[in-house]
Structure 1
Amino acid sequence: MLSPIGMIFYPFMARTHRIPTFCLLLASCFVLPLPSAHASSQPVSLASQNVRYSLDLVESSDGSTTDATGSMTYSVRRTCTAWETVQKLEIQSTTRKHGPELMLSDYVASESLDGRHLTFRTQERVNGRILQTVSGQAQLNRDGSGSVTYDRPLAKKLSLPAGTMFPMAHTGALISAAIASQNELTTPLFDGTLPDGAQDSYATLVGWTTTPSPTSPPSLRALPTGHIHVAYYDRSQQDMIPTYTIGMHSYANGVVDRLDLDFGDFRMNGILRTLELPREPTCAHPPETISRVTP
C-alpha cells in the first residue's frame, strides 16, 4: 500500500501464501518527495494513523477454504527521525485439509524519514505455534542499492538491488504516481517480512478523481481518490505469477477504506472500521526528506 500502500501484508509460510504486512499511508504535514526515477516528482504528504479493518471471505479458488474472517490493526507514527509501524493481522479460517486455523502475524518496523534505513521484526503463528520470526536491519544507498543484515531466522547478509524502496517510501511513490496521472509503477521492495531479501512489485493506478464522495469519512471527503492494485513477485522465480496481490481504494493522503486481499487459494475483503489521525510531533528541525539519484 505496502505500501496501504507502502501499505503494507505478508504471508504465513505454512500455507501456499503469506499473510501480508500492510503498509498504509495517511496525510500529514510531512512531505515525502518521490524517491525513484520510475514515478513522478509530485510530492506526497503522509501522516500518522491508527486504523482497524474487518476482513471477510469473498472467494475460495478451489473450495479448500470454507470459511475465513479476521481483523487487522495498523498503527504508524511519525517521530522527528523515523516512521514507527506496528501491524497485527488475525485470520480465523476453516479448510478442508487442516480444519480450523487461527493465523496471527505481528510486524514492527522503524523506517528513517530519509528512506535509507529500516529495522524490522515479523512473527507468524498458526494455532499458537510460531512458524517463523524474521528480524534485522537494512540500509540503502542514494541509488536504492544496499544490503540487509538478518538476525533471525539465520544470521546472514544479503544485497538489495538498485531502486529498492522501503515500505513508507514505496507508499509515497505510489500515491505520487497516481496523483500525477501515471497508471503504473514497478520497483523492488524490501519490508522485512521475508528472510530472502527484496521482492519485485508492480502497481496499477486507475480511476483517480477529484470529485468528493459523500459516503467518505468526513475528514477525507475533499480529497482525490482512486484505486491501487499491487502484485508482489519472488525475484528468484522466472514466472509471472505473483506471490500475492492487494487491491485498495485509497485517498490522496494515503487513507485506504476498502481492501481486496488475494492470498492465492482464497480472497478476502477488508473494510475500514475505525480511523484515528494522531497529532503530529513538533520537531526542532524540519524532518529529513528522501533524496536519491537514479542509477
Structure 2
Amino acid sequence: MKKTTATVASLLVFLAGQVWADTVVLQPHRAVYEAKLHNMRAAGNVATVDGTMIISLEKACDGWIFAQQLSLDIGLSNGVAVRQEVRFAGWEALDGKSYRFASRQSTGERQSGFKGSARLSDDGKPGRADFAAPETKTVELPAGTVFPVTHTMKLIEAARAGRRMEPRIVFEGSTVDGPQQVTAFIGQTQLPGPDSQTALGPLAMRPGWPVRMAVFPLGGQNAEPDFEIEVLQLDNGIVRRMVLDLGEFSLLLELKVVKAIEGSTC
C-alpha cells in the first residue's frame, strides 16, 4: 500500500499539468472522475477499488493554480477495508521557472506529506528544490528539468509536431528523491465520440491524443518503470480518461462531470 500511496500522489501531479500551450486558450475547469479497479494481477491482495477524484485548474495573474483530491475505498483480499485520501495543491509560474507544492496522503491511520518550493536557473545551470516536509532537504534539479505544466506544454507541442515519443526530466514534488525521467508515447489524434462525450457537454467534445507515460527514477538502471499512466488528453486541457498502472493492479478514472471556471482578471 505504501507504493500505491506514492504513485497515486504522483499521478495527481502529472495530471495537474495537463494544460494547453501557447496559441490555444487554456480552459480553467473543475473535473470529477469516477475511480474503479481496472485490472488486477493474480498474485495481488487488492480485491476492490471504488472512489472519486476531483481536479481543479485555474489561471492566476502570475501562474497556474491546481488542486486535486482523490478518495479511494480499497477492499483487500483478506476482507480488510482501507480508506485512502490523497490531496495535492500546486502553483507554477507562467514562465515555468518557479514552483510551489504541498501534498497530504493518508492510508488508514498512517499519514504522510510533502511541502516545498523549487526554482530553475535562467542560464542553463542546475536548479534546486527545497523541501520543508517531510524533512528539510535540498535536491538539485539537472539542467533541462521542467515542472508539470511546462512538461505538458512540451508534450502537446510534440504531439502537434507529429512526434510519437517525448522524454523529459520532470520535477513534481511527490518524493524527496527529486526529479523523475518521464517518457511519453503519443498516439494518433482521436476525434470526439458521439455518445458519452456529448453527455458531458461541449468541454469534452474535443479532439485529443492517447498518451502513455512511463515514469522512471532519474539515473536508475531499472528496465521497468516505477509506474505508468495512460491518459486521453483533449486539446483544451481536459483529461477525458486515465489509467494508472500500479503493478499490483491498475486504476481506471473516467470523467463524469466537467465545468468551466472563470479566469482571473489581471
Query: Taking structure 1 as the reference length, what is the TM-score of the superposition?
Result: 0.81
Aligned to 1:106: 87
* CA distances 1:159-192 after superposition (whole Å, capped 9, x unpaired): 0011111111112111221122111100111111
The partner residue of 2:225 within 225, 230, 242 is 242
TM-score by length of 2: 0.89
One of 41, 54, 58 as aligned partner of 2:38 = 58
- What is aligned with 1:260? 243
Give me the CA root mean square deviation: 2.1
- The answer on whether the counterparts of 2:232 and 2:240 sit within 8 Å (CA) in structure 1 is yes
Consecutive unaligned residues of structure 2, counting only runs of 5 or more, are: none
Q: What percentage of residue pairs aligned between the two structures are identical?
A: 25
Distance 1:229 1:144 in 2: 30
How many aligned positions are there?
257
| Cα 1:222/1:135, change in 2 over 3 Å | closer
Task: Give the Cα separation in 1 of the matches to 2:5 and 2:232.
Answer: 26
2-structure distance, mates of 1:144, 1:69: 44
> What residue identity is the alignment partner of 2:127?
G
Q: What is the DSSP-based 3-state SS (H/G/I as helix, E as strand, rest coil) of the residue aligned with 2:231? A: strand
In 2 relative to 1, CA 221–15 (structure 1 residues): closer, same or farther, beyond 3 Å? closer
Task: Give unpaired runs (5+ residues) of structure 1.
Answer: 1-11, 34-42, 284-295
Following superposition, the deviation at residue 25 of structure 1 comes to 2.8
The residue that corresponds to 1:18 in the other structure is: 7
Residue 115 of structure 2 is aligned to residue 115 of structure 1: no
Q: Residue type of the partner of 1:56?
A: K
- Written as runs of structure 1 = structure 2, the 5 A alignment for 1:162-241 is 162-209=143-190, 211-215=191-195, 216=197, 217-220=200-203, 223-241=206-224
Which whole-Å CA distance do the structure 1 matches of 2:205 and 2:45 have between them?
43
Shift of residue 224, structure 1, vs aligned partner: 2.6
CA distance in 2, matches of 1:150, 1:275: 33
Displacement after TM superposition at 1:110 (Å): 0.9
* 8 Å contact kept, 2:203–2:258: no
Q: For residue 57 of structure 2, what is the aligned residue in structure 1?
A: 76
Q: Output the amino acid matched with 1:70.
A: G
Bigger drift between 87-96 and 73-82 goes to 87-96
Query: Is the CA contact 2:84–2:106 (under 8 Å) kept in the aligned structure 1?
Result: yes
Larger helix percent: 2
